[in-house]
Amino acid sequence: MEDFNPKTLQETIQFFTEFENCRLFMTALRWPDGKVRCPRCSSYKVRYLDNARVYWCAEGHKTPKFSLKVGTVFEDSPIALEKWLPAVWMLVNNKNGISSWELHRALGVTQKSAWFMLHRIRAAIKTGGFKFGGPEGGEVEVDETFVGGKTINMHKKRRAEMQRKHMEMRGSDSEQVHRYVNKTAVQGMLDRELRQVRAKVVPNVRRDTLQNEVLNHVRFGSRLYTDNAVSYELLNSDYVHEVVSHADEYVRGRVHTNGLENFWSLLKRTLRGTYVAVEPFHLDRYLDEQTFRFNNRATKDNPLNDSDRFVYALSQIVGKRLTYKELTGKEEEAPF
Ligand SMILES: [Zn+2]
């Protein structure tokens, strides 16, 4: 990947216009030793068929041909790598993301294809897999926010249904409930030392729901900072729990959730500016996207540039799949 160092989107598009550059880039990424292996049987006995732009495995099994997309989140897509690679660049490097309509115009794919492409990339760059904090009091901020929610244009029946559901969600019929009608609850955690965030949609903001997430994602012995005493009070035996009260003080030494507040405001800017009508069903993927950009932002200690972020994102696409069925919950094949 030594030759690959575009600084801008324009240079990226230019670079990947040459299929040979796509091929060299993808092979270097997937096989750092430079030896292409069959993704089906791991054999090195493969030949590149220049005209067809595929490899051919000599081991004699079924479907001996494979493209560079096989075994990645791009598999089975009719969209060429020349378009996929700039799409990844745009999604991970545009501060506010990119909508399927923008990608459709930028790359000349249909809006539906662009929509599916972006969701596949989001699935690939999803982070997680290890717990935050540490037994020696590693500091973790935990906070919730509500996303979405314009009821004005909504059909009456649907609005009533949403109201009913959200009352159920809050478990009461208070004034507060009506503020959150048609909004989706999101819980976030931030590991201060790693400077990493995780965020996901939660079905409600009841105590057991929020506490279970903490138990699943934060190591015992960590120091938890929340602004909500009641929702987390039962965790005191497993964690050191400190609460900031927004009523009388914003920051008490290290006890605050300002890191997450910052993340929430970036998230909401993206959702307002770029993704105007996100269905709650898909919100988790937008959270994964925002989380990726946040966790891979340039900092003083870690001066990542756009090119680094792009290469890192691409390194995440190998071995991941997202089918149309998984994405939409529908049985049929992708119509595009
Ligand atoms: Zn093979």
The CA 50 to ligand 1 mean position distance, Å, reads 18
- Residues constituting the chain: 336
The CA 38 to ligand 1 mean position distance, Å, reads 5
User: Which pLDDT band holds residue 32 (cuts at 50, 70, 90)?
Assistant: confident
> Range of 292's domain?
75-125+280-336
Q: Residue range 225-253: average pLDDT?
A: 79
Segment 51-93, tens digit of pLDDT: 999 999 999 999 999 999 988 889 888 999 999 999 999 999 9
User: ∠ CA(290), CA(323), CA(282), 5° rounding?
Assistant: 35
Question: Which residues are near ligand 1, the ion (C-beta closer than 5 Å)?
Answer: 38, 40-41, 43, 57, 59
* Residue 144 and residue 114 share a domain: no
Which of 77, 127, 79, 69 has the alpha carbon at shortest distance from 103? 79
Residue 209 lies in a domain: yes
Segment 119-146, tens digit of pLDDT: 999 988 988 778 999 989 999 999 999 9
Residue 21 lies in a domain: no
Residue 153 lies in a domain: no
Angle between helix 81-93 and 19-30 (nearest 10): 70
* Residue 223 and residue 252 share a domain: yes
The CA 49 to ligand 1 mean position distance, Å, reads 15
Query: Which residue shows structure tokens 């959270």?
Result: 287
The CA 323 to ligand 1 mean position distance, Å, reads 23
User: Which pLDDT band holds residue 174 (cuts at 50, 70, 90)?
Assistant: very low
* Residue 285 and residue 266 share a domain: no
Residue 105 lies in a domain: yes
CB atoms inside a 10 Å sphere around CB 209: 16
Q: What CATH number does the domain containing 187 carry?
A: 3.30.420.10
Please answer whether residues 138 and 259 qualify as being in contact, where contact means their C-beta atoms are separated by less than 8 angstroms: no
- Listed in sequence order, the DSSP H helices in the chain are 9-17, 19-30, 81-93, 100-107, 111-124, 156-170, 175-179, 207-217, 229-232, 258-273, 283-295, 306-315, 324-328
The CA 1 to ligand 1 mean position distance, Å, reads 25
- State the pLDDT at residue 75: 86
Q: Which region holds residue 102: left if phi is over 0, alpha if psi is between -120 and 50, else beta?
A: alpha
User: Which pLDDT band holds residue 6 (cuts at 50, 70, 90)?
Assistant: confident
Which of 122, 132, 286 has the alpha carbon at shortest distance from 196? 132
* Residue 313 and residue 251 share a domain: no
- State the pLDDT at residue 202: 94
* Residue 256 and residue 144 share a domain: yes
The CA 79 to ligand 1 mean position distance, Å, reads 24
Residue 161 lies in a domain: no
Please answer whether residues 260 and 197 qualify as being in contact, where contact means their C-beta atoms are separated by less than 8 angstroms: yes
Q: Locate 81 and state its tokens.
A: 């790598």
Please answer whether residues 127 and 194 qualify as being in contact, where contact means their C-beta atoms are separated by less than 8 angstroms: no
Count structural domains, the chain.
2
The CA 77 to ligand 1 mean position distance, Å, reads 21
* Residue 311 and residue 232 share a domain: no
DSSP 8-state secondary structure symbol assigned to residue 218: B
* Residue 270 and residue 222 share a domain: yes
The CA 57 to ligand 1 mean position distance, Å, reads 5
The CA 41 to ligand 1 mean position distance, Å, reads 4
* Residue 190 and residue 242 share a domain: yes
Residue 252 lies in a domain: yes
Residue 171 lies in a domain: no
Residue 325 lies in a domain: yes
* Residue 208 and residue 306 share a domain: no
Which of 227, 260, 276 is the endpoint of a domain? Answer: 276
Q: Which is higher by pLDDT, 48 or 251?
A: 48
* Residue 320 and residue 214 share a domain: no
* Residue 328 and residue 224 share a domain: no
Distance between CA atoms of residues 258 and 249, nearest Å: 12
* Residue 264 and residue 284 share a domain: no
Determine the 3-state secondary structure of 189 from DSSP.
strand
Give CA separation, 298 vs 63, 94, 95, 175, in Å.
43, 13, 12, 41
